[in-house]
Amino acid sequence: MVANNTINFPSNQPTNKQVAAKSTLPTLTPETLQKFDVSGPRYTSYPTADRFVEAFTEESYKQTLAQRRIGGLTLPLSIYVHIPFCESLCFFCACNKIVTKHHERSVEYLRYLSREIDLHIEHLGAGQTISQLHLGGGSPTFFSDEELSELMAMIRRSFVLAPNGEYSIEVDPRTVNEQRLAHLASLGFNRLSFGVQDFDPEVQKAVHRIQPAEQVFSLVEAARRLKFDSVNVDLIYGLPKQSPESFSKTLAQIVELRPERIALYAYAHLPERFKPQRRIDTYELPAASAKIAMLSNAIATFLNAGYVYVGMDHFALPTDALAIAKRQGRLHRNFQGYSTQPDCDLISLGVSAIGRVGATYSQNAKTLEEYYDYLNQGRFPIVHGLALTRDDLVRRAVIMAIMCQGELQYEAIELAYMINFKQYFATELEALKELEKTGMVTLDENSLQVTDFGWFFVRAVGMVFDRYLQTDRNRARFSKII
């Protein structure tokens, strides 16, 4: 895939308008990479979480919950539960986690999750319908089977789980066996996400996460016997000791494994922000050219194996709900990434969890001590958030259309927000002309279309409409696009 420092991306993917004809993609030169491999948001929200302010308080959150009850019609909820505990430290990790061997700590944490649920029921009312539930971390499977049963019982006592909802859990393969997976199925989980990252033993050693490929293969086979709807596998490229050659072996194993979904993330080395990453030897990290080769090879490998490139960092088999949602224009994006569920309110529970209700975002306290202290006082553990302005809402709609559908019809935004699109975004449309010259987008009088080539840099297209980035060029806090 790499020759003379240029990389040609594959073009065997239908366009967003479902035209099967293949297009000629530009060659990715070092100059193009240098120009567009910049730091930028992943846009799991807009505005991004770094824009949250302390002026958004617990009282602000209560008012938002109260507004949800006004009007009679309530949409289904999505719930995220953050379980921060891990038994061992992965050096690449940028999550909010607590590394401990003391499993009794989860007993106390469950008590406080129960208090937080009770507070929500007090303000929302019991019996709200949930169409999506996700347990993340940390390692949710740090909880014992009994503790997971207790958590699900707490949720079912307070909410109604929709019959055809998506109920998923992140699984550390080192902490489960087939019996544990069977228990998860009995609790109602229908989707699993396994953290793999890389199968290469040297890479696993370098990031302090040893898990043989045979272990993951066995668990995925068990998940299929247990009739889980979908299995996702997380991969990371750009880790220490990785090379295009070594990563291609992992890709071949993933194709053999054939999970329904694949999440392929670029490793963002930010040791100044994430203390565990300071244990990684910077000299062992692959060069930018090697990273782009890994990405290119991964995309080609998965497309040739029949996967649909959903967008940015997600692949899915054509029969999976995520790929179907992409084809039907129903794809959405939230704090967990791409989703098939409608753009519903997200109630987030647990330390550091980020939620969205109405036109607001909120985040819980980031330390256990502070999180527990708020709940001991009978208060929501909200420490900051954001009430979106009208401009935020307009730009969010634009950015999410780009990130999810890869195209933007100006009239749709005009009708929804009563604006003249070309006047409102005159500066942005002028900037897009530069991206059009690179082959990332095509523009006409009525729409914007992200090209096949542009999909690999879709974050850069979304960034054009980010008002906050227009006035703040300090993007070091974000990961690189590639």
- Cα separation, 275 vs 75, in Å, equals 40
Burial class (CB in 10 A: 0-12, 13-18, 19+), 356: buried
Q: What is d(CA 24, CA 439) in angstroms, rounded to the nearest whole number?
A: 10
Report the relative pairing of strands 128-137 and 77-83 from DSSP bridges: parallel
Angle, in degrees to the nearest 10, between helices 145-158 and 105-124: 10
Q: Which two tokens stand for residue 274?
A: 């994430």
Residue 90 annotated in ligand binding: yes
DSSP 8-state symbol, 6: B
- Rounded Cα–Cα distance for residues 450 and 23 (Å): 12
Angle between helix axes 244-257 and 213-225 (nearest 10 degrees) is 20
Residue 92 assigned to a binding site = yes
**In what order do the strands lie in the sheet containing 447-450?**
407-409, 447-450, 441-443
User: How many Cα atoms sit within 13 Å of 95 on the Cβ side?
Assistant: 21
Q: Is 197 marked within a binding site? A: yes
Determine whether the annotation assigns residue 378 to a binding site. no
Q: Is 54 helix (H, G, I), strand (E, B) or coil?
A: coil
Q: Rg of the Cα trace of the chain?
A: 22
288 is in an annotated binding site: no
User: What is the CB-side half-sphere exposure of residue 455 using CA atoms within 13 A?
Assistant: 25
CA-CA distance, 343 to 353, in Å (whole number)? 18
On whether 268 is known to bind a ligand per the annotation, the reply is: yes
- 95 has binding-site annotation: no
Helices (H), 85-192: 105-124, 145-158, 178-186
Is 209 flagged in the annotation as binding?
yes
- CA–CA dist 386, 400 (Å, integer): 18
Q: Is 449 annotated as a binding residue?
A: no
156 is in an annotated binding site: no
Rounded Cα distance between 402 and 447, Å, is 11
**Cβ partners under 8 Å of residue 152, min gap 6:** 187, 188
328 burial level (CB within 10 Å; 0-12, 13-18, 19+): exposed
CA distance between the termini of the chain: 16
Q: Say whether 455 sits in a helix, a strand or coil.
A: helix
Nearest to 399 by CA among 442, 460, 313: 460
Instruction: Read off the tokens for 119.
Output: 């507070």
Q: Is 262 annotated as a binding residue?
A: no
392 is an annotated ligand-binding site residue? no
Q: For residue 86, say whether it is annotated as part of any ligand binding site.
A: yes
Provide the annotated binding site for S-adenosyl-L-methionine: 80, 92-94, 137, 170, 197, 209, 234, 268, 354
Provide the annotated binding site: 80, 86, 90, 92-94, 137, 170, 197, 209, 234, 268, 354
Provide the annotated binding site for [4Fe-4S] cluster: 86, 90, 93
